[in-house]
């Protein structure tokens, strides 16, 4: 069997086109996922950029504030003027009394919130007072139900991405087998660490660092495999002995 045909530098043009298209789309997808994290979890403390506090507020919660306050001072900070946000936060801190809903705060929510919070499934419907009242409770972070749902989606979905990236990289040449094997396995290990850290942070904020470590670990390993594979398919010139 002529095994050299099943290495990245020697693949036929159709296979190179297939693998390249997949790697480019996945690479772009990972960049977009990183940007999405920055604009959601990365704004939990009201500042752009992912920090330990962002992770703590997202998963463990903020014991000295309400869910509504955490959002208005975090990822929703730009959705309403400062004066309006302060009024809404103060109202939430007082327990969101229903007596002030109709004459004042219903209009604020209609003007600044319901464009999303009435049309997007899975988020509270802010046309209803009871839904707003729920967010005025002490912020306990993401719920166990939501964490379960997001965890299994990430485990199944991202594992498929890493499997195909690793499969393509397994045809690379020039790596010691144990190095190649470690690179292929690393994203899976860090993905498990990342998901596990969400649950641990939910219980104790001290585990928030693991989320950053997990995300960096599988991102770096994936980046090495993607760029190595693209390089070997299109730029690498194998030695005569390798052919």
- CA dihedral of 105, 110, 114, 118, whole degrees rounded to 10: 90
Residue pair 234/23 in contact by the 8 Å Cβ criterion? no
- How many angstroms separate the Cα of 221 from the Cα of each of 30, 51, 113, 122, 163? 12, 21, 39, 33, 13
Report the pLDDT averaged over residues 103-115. 87
Q: Which residue has the tokens 């504030």?
A: 65
Q: Which residue has the tokens 């997949």?
A: 22
Q: Per-residue confidence at 240, pLDDT binned at 50, 70, 90? A: low
pLDDT at res. 123: 81
- How many angstroms separate the Cα of 161 from the Cα of each of 40, 156, 164, 172, 226? 22, 9, 6, 18, 11
For residue 182, the 8-state DSSP code is H
Report the pLDDT averaged over residues 150-164. 95
**What digits encode the pLDDT tens for the residues 24-76?**
999 999 999 998 888 877 766 667 778 888 898 889 887 667 778 777 877 78
Higher-scoring residue by pLDDT: 192, 110 = 192
Instruction: Write the DSSP assignment of 8-74 as a string of letters.
Output: GGG--HHHHHHHHHHHHHHHHHHHHHHHHHHHTGGGTTSSSS--HHHHIIIII-EEEEEHHHHHHTT
In whole angstroms, give the CA distance from residue 15 to residue 47: 44
Q: Per-residue confidence at 2, pLDDT binned at 50, 70, 90? A: very low
pLDDT at res. 169: 98
Higher-scoring residue by pLDDT: 229, 52 = 229
> What percentage of residues in the chain have a pLDDT greater than 90?
49
**What digits encode the pLDDT tens for the residues 173-221?**
999 999 999 999 999 999 999 999 999 999 999 999 999 999 999 999 9
pLDDT at res. 63: 64
Residue pair 200/207 in contact by the 8 Å Cβ criterion? yes
CB atoms within 10 A of CB 234: 11
In whole angstroms, give the CA distance from residue 113 to residue 172: 50
Residues 92, 95, 96, 99: is their CA dihedral positive or negative?
negative
In whole angstroms, give the CA distance from residue 158 to residue 151: 11
At residue 97, does pLDDT exceed 90?
no
Mean pLDDT of the chain, nearest integer: 88
- Which residues does residue 66 pair with via DSSP β-bridges, in sequence order? 138
Residue pair 51/63 in contact by the 8 Å Cβ criterion? no
Higher-scoring residue by pLDDT: 99, 181 = 181
For residue 104, the 8-state DSSP code is I
Q: Which residue has the tokens 């086109």?
A: 17
């Amino acid at each position: 069997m002529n095994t050299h045909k099943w290495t990245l530098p020697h693949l036929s043009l159709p296979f190179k086109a297939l693998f390249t298209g997949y790697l480019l789309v996945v690479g772009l997808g990972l960049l977009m996922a990183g940007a999405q994290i920055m604009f959601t979890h990365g704004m939990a403390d009201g500042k752009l950029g992912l920090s330990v506090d962002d992770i703590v507020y997202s998963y463990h919660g903020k014991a000295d504030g309400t869910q509504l306050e955490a959002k208005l001072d975090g990822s929703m900070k730009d959705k309403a003027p400062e004066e309006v946000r302060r009024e809404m936060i103060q109202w939430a801190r007082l327990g969101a009394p229903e007596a002030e809903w109709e004459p004042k705060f219903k209009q604020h929510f209609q003007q600044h919130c319901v464009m999303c919070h009435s049309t997007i499934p899975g988020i509270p419907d802010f046309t209803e007072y009871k839904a707003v009242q729920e967010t005025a409770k002490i912020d306990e972070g993401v719920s166990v139900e939501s964490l379960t749902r997001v965890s299994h989606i990430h485990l199944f979905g991202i594992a498929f991405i890493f499997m195909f990236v690793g499969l393509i990289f397994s045809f690379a040449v020039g790596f010691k087998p144990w190095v190649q094997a470690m690179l292929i396995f690393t994203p899976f290990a860090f993905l498990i660490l990342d998901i596990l850290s969400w649950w641990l942070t939910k219980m104790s904020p001290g585990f928030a660092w693991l989320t950053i470590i997990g995300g960096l670990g599988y991102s770096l390993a994936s980046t090495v495999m993607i760029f190595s594979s693209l390089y070997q398919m299109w730029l690498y010139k194998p030695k005569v002995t390798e052919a």
